[in-house]
Structure 1
Amino acid sequence: MKKKVTVIGSINMDLVTTTRVRPDVGETVLGETFSTIPGGKGANQAVAAARLGADVTLIGCVGNDLFGQQLRQHLQHENITFCEVAKQTNKHTGIASITISDHDNSIIVVPGANAEVTEEAIKPYVKVIAESDMILMQLEIPIHTVEHVIRVASRSNVPVIVNPAPFQMLSNDVMEKVAYLTPNEHEEKRLKNQGDFKEKLIVTKGSEGATVWKNGDSVNIPSYKVEVLDTTGAGDAFNGAMAVALSEGKELIEACQFANAVGALAVTKLGAQNGMPTKKEVEHFLIDRKRREDTK
């Protein structure tokens, strides 16, 4: 039976430009390609989890504009149940302007309709939250909403994974209720100012893999080496995979190994959601890598 993963978070249209030369301030350069690609951390993670076989509900908001129409259709195509919190919003759909150069990216996010995901707007979906096997959130929606959902989930003993990006401080009360936090190395340093929560941390390190803590000791789970095309959405792929793996009962280190494989496959394609692999693709990838290791 499919596990129920509920993602509460942002839904954006990514405006992606590739260029050989990243412009300096005040400089104009010629780009190579331009694409509009569905994105937003919430939607990215929802697509990742859905393609890996979970029963996924996404709670969020888009605008009543062309991007909003396209994103609604896209979520339906990905077999994601979309709980739209404010269907009559006057705000535009959130966008992320992404520049890709030299296999890396820089991003400007304009939240737009994502700001409508408020505590009040979440109230009709309390039952959805309570009946979930796992809740997954990020910080591209109002921070008070994130904290409210964590408290609601805690009352129903539903585990919550929080990807603390873009970084904002969570209250200590809320931090105690979170099952796992998935910062990158920069976010981890800032979380250390809030106290000792290292047993809850799953630190993503890009090509260096991920680090978890077990019995007080740090354990590094290596990444898989692949040909990188676009790193956009790699962390979201990892988070969606962690939510699925942990909801299915995988032990933490095994779940990280699985999530590392998903993240590795994601960076081999252009665009955050385009690169999200299916469960079958991940299984074939892991079998192939094990075969290579065995023949060394």
Structure 2
Amino acid sequence: MDKVWPVRDLPAGGGKYRASDYLEVGGGMAANAAVAAARLGADCAYWGRAGDDEAGLAMQRQLVDYGVDVKQFRLIAGARSSISAVIVSQDGERMIVNYRGANIPDDTSWLPLQRVMEAAAIHADIRWVEGASAIFAAARSAGIPTVLDGETATEAAFAAVLPWTDHAIFSEPGLRSFAGADSLHNDANRRAALAKARALGCRVAAVTRGSRGTLWLDGEGFHQQASFAVTVVDTTGAGDVFHGAYALAMGEGQSVAQAMRFASAVAALKCTRQGGRAGIPSRAEVDEFLVRQ
């Protein structure tokens, strides 16, 4: 659950700051990606876990409101849901403080993995390593493309999930946590870091860089998708939205280059509007935007 305070400037130290508004909205990388895919027209389901507390119930209700199937979104008795404080400045930058929750078991035995073959594509984030590994392994066996949100994680987490991943899309902090502090110094280092991910079994390894676009490495070489020039209002959730759009594109059979362009456009349009989920564009808006580019 994201608790959002819009402010003029991000806090630079201790003290009191005045917010222009206050919002409570469901968040989470994979959950936001699911909302993005649903908003863009996909028949989408979210499999995950939260506590059976007020935040968990609210997140479940909101996903339903966005048209996401939550039959496999489990609310665990006695567990505490993950909650983030999100401070958003006028220029669209944000500061996030996250409480990861408590008493949420890692057990995957309840996941209906036989249903994976019904999907056109599978997306997961790196937070629930056991769940992502289980569903990606099932997807690999069924020939279903998988997309990983490579956010900041431990070496062990990446080692468990990347061998089952077809498309690993890292944030810059995520790539740094995977490949080391030098991985972002220049394109040669970025390419080496992405090659390290491909060596573990990924077909495509990419890193999103906000206004500087997206770089990716596949069997044909090193590529770049430039970002689209837009007036930024709020970057909250842009990376999650990118992942949801990319996974949808994979499910539709788009090429990697087409999917990168499509996902970049969806994320750019989201940044022109306030809110993570509220700012997600419709498919018609994205198609119209791309025609003008």
Shift of the alpha carbon at 1:160?
1.4
Task: Report the counterpart of residue 203 of structure 1 in structure 2.
Answer: 207
| Equivalent residues of 2:49, 2:76 under 8 A apart | no
In structure 2, the CA distance between the partners of 1:115 and 1:168, relative to structure 1 (3 Å rule), is farther
3-state DSSP of counterpart to 1:191: helix
Q: What TM-score, normalized to structure 2? A: 0.85
| Structure 1: runs of 5+ lacking an equivalent | 1-12, 290-296
Shift of the alpha carbon at 1:279?
0.8
**Deviations 1:20-61 (CA, angstroms, capped at 9, x unpaired):** 243344322222221112211121000101111111010112
Shift of the alpha carbon at 1:158?
2.2
**Deviations 1:107-148 (CA, angstroms, capped at 9, x unpaired):** 1222327934532342xx21222322211011233x233223
In structure 2, the CA distance between the partners of 1:25 and 1:201, relative to structure 1 (3 Å rule), is same
Cα RMSD (Å) of the superposition? Answer: 2.3
In structure 2, the CA distance between the partners of 1:236 and 1:114, relative to structure 1 (3 Å rule), is farther
In structure 2, the CA distance between the partners of 1:100 and 1:37, relative to structure 1 (3 Å rule), is same
In structure 2, the CA distance between the partners of 1:114 and 1:108, relative to structure 1 (3 Å rule), is farther
What is the letter of the counterpart of residue 109 of structure 2?
Answer: E
What is the letter of the counterpart of residue 31 of structure 1?
Answer: A
The answer as to 2:136 corresponding to 1:178 is no
3-state DSSP of counterpart to 1:281: helix
Shift of the alpha carbon at 1:192?
3.3
2-structure distance, mates of 1:86, 1:210? 34
Q: Give the alignment partner of residue 80 of structure 2, picking from 92, 113, 138.
A: 92
Task: Report the counterpart of residue 19 of structure 1 in structure 2.
Answer: 7
Q: Give the alignment partner of residue 151 of structure 1, picking from 130, 137, 145.
A: 137
In structure 2, the CA distance between the partners of 1:248 and 1:14, relative to structure 1 (3 Å rule), is same
The answer as to 2:107 corresponding to 1:118 is yes
2-structure distance, mates of 1:50, 1:286? 19
1:100-111 paired onto structure 2 within 5 Å: 100-101=88-89, 102-111=91-100
Task: Report the counterpart of residue 246 of structure 1 in structure 2.
Answer: 250
The answer as to 2:64 corresponding to 1:76 is yes
| Structure 2: runs of 5+ lacking an equivalent | 181-192
Task: Report the counterpart of residue 286 of structure 1 in structure 2.
Answer: 290
What is the letter of the counterpart of residue 204 of structure 2?
Answer: K
Q: Give the alignment partner of residue 63 of structure 1, picking from 39, 51, 58.
A: 51
| Equivalent residues of 1:266, 1:272 under 8 A apart | yes
| Equivalent residues of 1:86, 1:116 under 8 A apart | no
Task: Report the counterpart of residue 131 of structure 1 in structure 2.
Answer: 118
1-structure distance, mates of 2:133, 2:58? 30
1-structure distance, mates of 2:158, 2:224? 28
Shift of the alpha carbon at 1:214?
4.3
In structure 2, the CA distance between the partners of 1:85 and 1:70, relative to structure 1 (3 Å rule), is closer
Which is further off, 17-26 or 92-101?
Answer: 17-26
2-structure distance, mates of 1:162, 1:40? 14
**Deviations 1:76-95 (CA, angstroms, capped at 9, x unpaired):** 22111113454452123321
Q: What TM-score, normalized to structure 1? A: 0.84
3-state DSSP of counterpart to 1:223: coil
Percent identity, aligned pairs only, is 27
1-structure distance, mates of 2:103, 2:170? 21
Larger RCO: 1 or 2 (CA < 8 Å, sep 6+): 1
In structure 2, the CA distance between the partners of 1:114 and 1:149, relative to structure 1 (3 Å rule), is farther
2-structure distance, mates of 1:188, 1:52? 27
Aligned length: 274
**Deviations 1:207-231 (CA, angstroms, capped at 9, x unpaired):** 1111122445311111111111110
2-structure distance, mates of 1:206, 1:259? 12
| Equivalent residues of 2:132, 2:161 under 8 A apart | no
Shift of the alpha carbon at 1:106?
1.2
